[in-house]
């Protein structure tokens, strides 16, 4: 079969990399007869103030000390959920690509480590359109990297980033987010499938509106047989203050008050149903459950 330009470039660069692939954090979960794997896009490097600035600093310090988290510098993982049911190979979000942070953009190497290539992905489903979730959409030719995939995004999220006024109203610190999202969305404008809250977007995958981090942020309930899990994206954005103090507003959220309401709704549901969650920025692959102790909620890794 003749090599496409994508396949040629990937083949040329993958050979020397094959012997030196880093070991990316991954986790696996069986959901009925389906499999969910998290694949790493690397990590971010953020100032602590990005999240912690609006929080009560005297109460924040002991929470950070409990988890060994710095108030100055954060390095959260970026974990993309990959769902395979024998028919569909679904990737939730696409990571950062090469243009956001040098510590991120590793999803293609992570997929290669489990013998998958971009063309094997049948569907890309977006939780939201922040850079670490959508900037990896395009390849080095500014074409869709996952070129065989159907792209899917919640209607409210699409409409927000597509609106030409968003770049003027989102604030200076996030204006580049709006420009970058719009540029990538323009490439898939005619092909993207949009959906609404509660809709079953694929067999066994239902959308759940979780706004606040962004206006149209979506989580996804995965069900296969009697098993279930919830892909929460950034609606629960870390394993420390988001769990211990879900009522605290975070600087990472575009609508902090609404994000608090969403977070509490998710914790109530995850606890009531004892459902597994998959969080984009949760540690060690991001798969676990919500537990509770005298100090509040706690992320139970891998359970």
pLDDT of residue 24: 53
Residues 31-59 pLDDT 10s: 999 999 999 999 999 999 999 999 999 99
Residues 161-174 pLDDT 10s: 999 999 999 999 99
Identify the weakest region by mean pLDDT among 8-12, 277-281, 282-286.
8-12
Question: What CATH superfamily is the domain 21-301?
Answer: Ribonuclease Z/Hydroxyacylglutathione hydrolase-like (3.60.15.10)
Q: What is the DSSP string of 27-83?
A: EEEEETTEEEEEEEEEE--EETHHHHTTS-HHHHHHHHHHHT--SSEE--EEEEEEE
Better-scored residue on pLDDT, 191 or 13: 191
Say whether pLDDT at 79 is over 60.
Answer: yes
What is the sign, positive or negative, of the torsion defined by CA atoms of 268, 271, 274, 277? positive
Q: What is the DSSP string of 155-211?
A: HHHHHHHHSTTHHHHS-GGGHHHHHHHHHHHHHTTTT-EEE-TT-EEETTEEEEE--
Rounded CA-CA distance 173/177 in Å is 8
Better-scored residue on pLDDT, 194 or 303: 194
Q: How confident is the model at residue 303 (pLDDT cuts 50, 70, 90)?
A: low
pLDDT of residue 56: 97
Query: How does DSSP classify residue 104?
Result: B
Contact predicate 103/144, CB 8 Å: no
Structure tokens that stand for 8 in this block: 């040629």
pLDDT of residue 27: 73
**What does DSSP say about strands 123-126 and 89-92: parallel, antiparallel, or unpaired?**
parallel
Rounded CA-CA distance 119/106 in Å is 16
Say whether pLDDT at 15 is over 70.
Answer: no
């Amino acid at each position: 079969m003749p090599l496409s330009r994508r396949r040629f470039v990937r083949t040329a660069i993958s050979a020397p990399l094959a012997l030196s692939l880093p070991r990316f954090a991954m986790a696996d979960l069986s959901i009925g007869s389906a499999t969910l794997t998290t694949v790493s896009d690397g990590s971010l490097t953020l100032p602590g103030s990005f999240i912690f600035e609006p929080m009560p600093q005297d109460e924040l310090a002991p929470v950070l000390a409990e988890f060994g988290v710095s108030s100055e510098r954060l390095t959260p993982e970026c974990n993309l959920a990959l769902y395979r049911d024998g028919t569909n190979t679904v990737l939730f979000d696409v990571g950062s690509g090469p243009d956001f942070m040098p510590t991120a953009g590793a999803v293609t190497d992570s997929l290669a480590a489990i013998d998958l290539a971009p063309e094997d992905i049948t569907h890309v489903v977006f939780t939201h359109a922040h850079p670490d979730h959508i900037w990896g959409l395009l390849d080095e030719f500014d074409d869709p990297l996952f070129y065989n995939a159907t792209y899917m995004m919640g209607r409210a999220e699409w409409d927000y980033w597509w609106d030409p006024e968003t770049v003027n109203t989102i604030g200076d610190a996030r204006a580049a987010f709006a420009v970058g999202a719009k540029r990538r969305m323009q490439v898939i404008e005619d092909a993207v499938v949009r959906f609404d809250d509660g809709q079953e977007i694929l067999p066994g995958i239902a959308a759940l509106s979780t706004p606040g981090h962004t206006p149209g942020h979506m989580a996804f309930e995965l069900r296969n047989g009697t098993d279930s899990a919830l892909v929460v994206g950034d609606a629960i954005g870390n394993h420390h203050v988001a769990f211990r103090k879900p009522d605290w507003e975070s600087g990472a959220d575009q609508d902090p008050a609404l994000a608090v309401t969403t977070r509490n709704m998710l914790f109530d549901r995850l606890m009531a149903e004892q459902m597994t969650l998959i969080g984009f920025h949760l540690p060690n692959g991001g798969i676990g459950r919500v537990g509770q102790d005298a100090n509040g909620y706690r992320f139970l890794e891998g359970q």
